[in-house]
Amino acid sequence: MTDNRASVFVSYSRSDRGFVRRLLEQLKRSEREVWVDLDDIPPTADWLAEVKAGIEAAETFLFVISPDSISSEVCQTEVAHAAGLNKRIVPVVHSEVDERLVPEPLAQRNWLFFRNEDEFDSGLRALNEALDTDLDWLHAHAELLRRALAWERGGRRRSALLRGTELREAEAWLASESGGGQQPTAAHREFILASRRAAGRRQRSVLAAVSAALVVAIGLGILALTQRSTAIENQKRAESQQLAAVADSQLRVDPERSLLLSLEAVDISETDAALESLKRALGASRVRETLAGDEDAKFSPDGRTVTTIAKGNAYLWDLKSGERMAVSRRSNPSVLASPVVYSPDGSLVAIGESSHSRILDARTGEELARIGGAVGVAFSDDSSLLATGAIRSGVIRIWDPRSGKRLRTLRGHAARVHALVWAPARRLASASLDGTARIWSLEARDGRVQGNGRSVVLRGHENRLRDIDYSPDGETIATASEDGSARLWDASSGAELAVLRSGRHGKVETVDFSPEGSRLVLPHGDGTLQIWTSDGRLLRTLRGHRGEARGAEFSPDGRLIASAGFVDHTARIWDAGSGRTVAVLRGHRDIIKPVHFSPDGSQLVTASGDGTARVWSVSSGEDAVSLTGRGGSEPTALAAAATGRLIATGDSHGNIRLWNSVTGAPVAALERDRSAIRTLAFTPVGKALVAAGDSAEARIHTLAGHGSTKVLRGHHGLINAVAVDGAGDLVLTAGQDGTVRLWGLDGTLERVLGAEGGEEPGEGSGGAPLRTAAFDPAGKRLIAGGDDGVARIWDVRSGRLEHALLAHDGAIERVNFSPDGELAVTAGNDGAAVVWDADRGDRVATLEGHSGALHDARFSPDGQFVVTASDDESARVWDSHSGEQLQLIRGHEARVVTGSFDRQGELVLTAGWDGTARVWDSGSGEPVATLDGPGNLVSQAEFTPGGAVVMRAEDSKTALLYSCELCLAPEALRHLAEERVTRELTPAERAEFLDEAP
């Protein structure tokens, strides 16, 4: 095989030989090695073995689709072999075919078209682009598969296993992702794992021999003891590294198992490999609770509890503690319960069963009533009515859920009612296995349900209905059917509005409207999901599940979609806007039935045939959320509220937007400024936001209540800095005119401070332009610095200039007070920082060592340390009293423009013009995390109160919010991992991966 282009196996029908010859000629011109049989050789056993060997060796399996090829038994055999090896399959359409006859491994891929009416050259460009994607990953896939199959067919000889560098590279490949969605096979995993176990045994044998020799040599003296100690430590390090590699191999199988193995590796020895493996496993493992459950699981409306069904018993769980609150046991051992439905007010839970259904108190689990058996179960919006569909007939019954009294019986369906949903105005919609849906209008008066029992019938589906949903405004109904389509109906008249069907994708199990009602998501029997608009336009098809997808729903904010894989035992989280896979949730060992978001969208719950229900975090701890406004304008400023959950971004068009600092969800857009936003500052509790743009004006935006905006006018030039005092009563603005101005939150000008004191200067007479200013925490003093290198400290109450500190030979870029207000720090473009006694104005320490201009200097939370950021591509940590340099932080490849401590003082965050923000251990200076920025020049990065990181770049049109859960020092990382695991390694796992006796 050539080293630089993908090798290709071509499967085709002899009737398409002319087209294949032309295609082969073009592929060979691209220097590709192509396996294609152009001779008429009977399909003997030897010939078929050679064909299969060709498929096994190739990186890509190319199938020419035509009526003859999809009806060919030989082609069918080739497709099945390629699919079984998880090969990349590229279908090329030469002639039109009936899509229903196309084998599933071909139907679920993107097709390239080379029909007579298609342009050959454009198709060839698309084909070459597809073939050149993920080459390194595919080369490794093919080579490792060849060796794995040879090992298996050769009797699994130990001599055929991987060793050394080959093994480490194979393990790294196994833990990596293919951008095209290909997966390693079971043969890959078994071969690599067997290689690792064999390597572990070899290493242990060698180390055991070394240890034995050392025991004999103890009598030779202290040198031998030292050597033995070193050997034992080396043995532990080697075992730790080997186990870390095994843990990495499990990332794509069961991330929680990988996490458990990584913890074992860290327990043996805290090697870099073990810690990195631990971090990777923490990022991949999103399981937060493992509960008993095999049929269904739902969050309560307040998100505090979960109800699961396990072997027909209903369990109520407290999510905060993970403890079981109550259990309601089934009365008939032969009957399994299925749907779990909470009442909208959260007070009741209904459990559907075939023999009877139960209504439970959602707080205590006490059974309040027992009613008829049901599959479809739905509470009305006010929780006063419960509708159920009978198991063995098309009857719908309406109940008083608290007493269990039957209020009404609705007849009309000819088969079981599979799904029910209430809409406003007492309308009930039902979907039945008879292929129809119905809309019922009901009224409730004096505890009785009235109405004539008639319904509007929705006809059109060609097979049984599986689900039904109302749009949020109650005006549209969507139905899902085994005929492979969904349909939209007018909820008032029952008129059909649209048929949602695209190609042959198999039955549709569920349908879900997005929260705003403009989109729907449909999971299909072939494993794809489709997103449609509410007016019947297909937006995109999501591919990733192998086999049937049973359930899918939008997150509460509509930004994500969760889906359940019935066959591949995974759940997936998708970006609803782009269709990108956000996460694959692995760990279940059997079919996954439901998947549901928590009310706040931060968690998911799944239930599986393996007997467990799992609660998953939607965020991995390393996820980044884009904070992007409309119009593609560039973010120019950001701020995080000291308390609360708000982030503010300002952009080059004068827009200011508020975001949730935990989820990144948009909260509000404020009144637009007339110029690009330069600086932002929240009041301490986040009730107001101060903004200044490319003008002589600033604005105070009140966020509480109905909100208002106060415009601050008076500066004679640009405003370079804004700040708010600790009490949230005063705002300062510092400008190009050399003045600091103090304002009340109502916009009243309180005082103007100039270079010579508290008297208001005339236009242009305030002194040198000011670049930076800050209040002390108590709001008693403020400090400002500017182009003349002088830092000035004023008494806020009197306006008296207390100190004029000749600080730097050049402009001052940053000033800050210590948390107790006793010290101040100034950072200058002369490459030094100075710590001052704020009360006396004395110089405490000069922080010298940088070889470039400083851009930032900030105190640690206890005031004992200062971090500085410089043009010399470094940050440094200093003792604030002695001026001693404690840590030199290097890693950025361009100027470092900001540096700050987290709230505990354990971490340092830096932002650089190399396009990254970086997190460091403040005590050791060691790197903890590297966060890729939204552009090439990250110019601001801040910790939020919750520990996330928000950053912006000067050359991008977005800001990023990182959850940064894994930005932790090693001991804290280990502690988090111990808290996160929801189970222990099983005896079988310990025997397989740790070589322990079962």
Q: Is the dihedral of CA 453, 456, 462, 463 positive or negative?
A: negative
| Most confident region among 2-11, 272-281, 910-919 by mean pLDDT | 910-919
What's the rounded mean pLDDT across residues 767-788? Answer: 95
What's the rounded mean pLDDT across residues 55-60? Answer: 90
**Which two tokens mark 987?**
């005896």
Q: Is the dihedral of CA 818, 822, 827, 832 positive or negative?
A: negative
Residue 873 in contact with residue 890, Cβ under 8 Å? yes
In terms of Cα–Cα distance, which of 307, 563, 480, 405 is closest to 397? Answer: 405
pLDDT at 332: 66
pLDDT at 761: 46
The yes-or-no verdict on residue 180 having pLDDT over 70 is no
**Residue 407 vs residues 388, 398, 447: alpha-carbon distances, Å:** 12, 5, 8
pLDDT in tens, 542-579: 988 888 888 899 999 999 999 998 888 999 999 898 88
The yes-or-no verdict on residue 454 having pLDDT over 60 is yes
The yes-or-no verdict on residue 192 having pLDDT over 70 is yes
pLDDT at 615: 96
pLDDT in tens, 253-272: 899 999 999 999 999 998 98
* pLDDT top residue among 701 and 197: 701
pLDDT in tens, 19-55: 999 999 888 888 888 988 876 566 666 788 888 889 9
The yes-or-no verdict on residue 838 having pLDDT over 90 is yes
- Where are any strands of DSSP class E within 336-481? 337-342, 348-353, 356-361, 367-372, 377-379, 386-389, 396-400, 405-410, 417-423, 427-432, 437-441, 443-445, 448-450, 455-458, 465-470, 476-481
- Type of residue at 350: A
What's the rounded mean pLDDT across residues 812-833? Answer: 97
**Which two tokens mark 801?**
């200039």
Q: How confident is the model at residue 449 (pLDDT cuts 50, 70, 90)?
A: low
pLDDT at 758: 45
pLDDT at 571: 95
CA–CA separation, 91 vs 788, rounded Å?
69
CA dihedral defined by 724, 951, 628, 653, rounded to 10 degrees? 50
Average pLDDT, the chain: 87
How far, in whole angstroms, is CA 486 from its chain's centroid?
Answer: 29
pLDDT in tens, 636-663: 899 988 877 899 999 988 999 999 887 7
pLDDT at 956: 80
The yes-or-no verdict on residue 341 having pLDDT over 80 is yes
pLDDT at 138: 85
How far, in whole angstroms, is CA 230 from its chain's centroid?
Answer: 43
In terms of Cα–Cα distance, which of 433, 506, 421 is closest to 466? Answer: 433
**Percentage of the chain exceeding pLDDT 90:** 53
Q: How confident is the model at residue 331 (pLDDT cuts 50, 70, 90)?
A: low
**Percentage of the chain exceeding pLDDT 70:** 91
Q: How confident is the model at residue 470 (pLDDT cuts 50, 70, 90)?
A: very high
The yes-or-no verdict on residue 62 having pLDDT over 80 is yes
Please tell me the number of Cα atoms within 13 Å of 906 on its side-chain side. Answer: 10
- Type of residue at 506: G
Give the range among 206-215, 233-242, 363-372 with minimum mean pLDDT: 206-215
CA–CA separation, 25 vs 34, rounded Å?
10
CA–CA separation, 860 vs 846, rounded Å?
17
pTM of the model as a whole: 0.66
Give the range among 35-49, 58-72, 118-132, 216-230 with minimum mean pLDDT: 216-230
pLDDT in tens, 673-686: 878 999 999 998 88
Q: What angle do CA 834, 839, 844 make, to 5 degrees?
A: 30
pLDDT at 497: 96
Q: How confident is the model at residue 883 (pLDDT cuts 50, 70, 90)?
A: very high
Residue 660 in contact with residue 646, Cβ under 8 Å? yes
Q: What's the order of all strands across the beta sheet hosting 8-11?
A: 34-35, 8-11, 60-65, 88-93, 112-113
pLDDT in tens, 699-756: 999 987 777 899 999 999 999 999 999 888 999 999 999 999 999 999 999 999 985 5
pLDDT in tens, 963-997: 887 777 788 888 889 988 999 999 889 988 988 87
pLDDT in tens, 66-117: 999 998 988 998 998 998 888 989 999 999 888 778 887 887 677 888 988 7
pLDDT at 42: 63
pLDDT at 150: 86
CA–CA separation, 867 vs 880, rounded Å?
9
Q: How confident is the model at residue 5 (pLDDT cuts 50, 70, 90)?
A: low
